[in-house]
Amino acid sequence: MSKPKLRHIALSVDDPFATAEFYMKAFDMDKVGETDSPLARGVYLSDGTVNLAILNFKNDRWAGANGQAYRGIHHMGFHVDDLDKAEEKILAAGGTEFTGRPTHGNTKTVVFEMKYYDPNGIMVDAAETGWPISDRSNEQD
């Protein structure tokens, strides 16, 4: 089994589309999707490795501990090989369940598979399927 990889960062913002324009223009990020789910409205960007979700949360439950008024980094997500093992390790390390495995599964607009809080109350996603990224396989760093 490979080590989990950080592949997703989510921002909580007022206007996801204007914020996405900034990151696309300033950092040449690619738009790889949009969401308008019961959780949030937003845009997914990618640099070819990491997925950046730029979200405006629709209610305090999904906005998390800081509430809907918070603006900034909201959570991060790790790509894992096995959700059962990841869940076991998260809980054993002192994490607490936010949603565990959601009943909706991974869909086109809701791409996390499990959500937990670390011991500091910071939200963390884990997913076997990963997040949408752009194809920049021919680019050199």
Domain extents in the chain: 5-127
Task: Please say whether the beta carbons of 25 and 109 come within 8 A.
Answer: no
Summarize pLDDT for 20-30 with one digit per residue, the tens: 998 899 878 89
The pLDDT, as a whole number, for residue 103 is: 47
- Average confidence score pLDDT of the chain: 81
| Per-residue pLDDT at 102 | 57
pLDDT value of residue 41: 95
Kindly state the DSSP code that residue 103 receives in the 8-state scheme. Answer: T
* 30-59 residue pLDDT tens: 999 999 988 899 999 999 999 999 999 999
Q: pTM surpassing 0.85? A: no
d(CA 103, CA 99): 9
The CATH label, of 3.40.630.30, 3.90.45.10, 3.10.180.10, 3.40.50.720, for the domain at 5-127 is: 3.10.180.10
pLDDT tens per residue across span 98-128: 876 654 455 444 555 788 887 767 778 888 8
φ, ψ dihedrals at 122, nearest 5°: -85, 130
The count of C-alpha atoms lying within 13 angstroms of the C-alpha of 36, restricted to the half-sphere facing its C-beta, is 2
- What pLDDT, on a 0 to 100 scale, did the predictor assign at position 131? 72
pLDDT for position 115: 84
Quote the tokens at residue 12: 């909580």
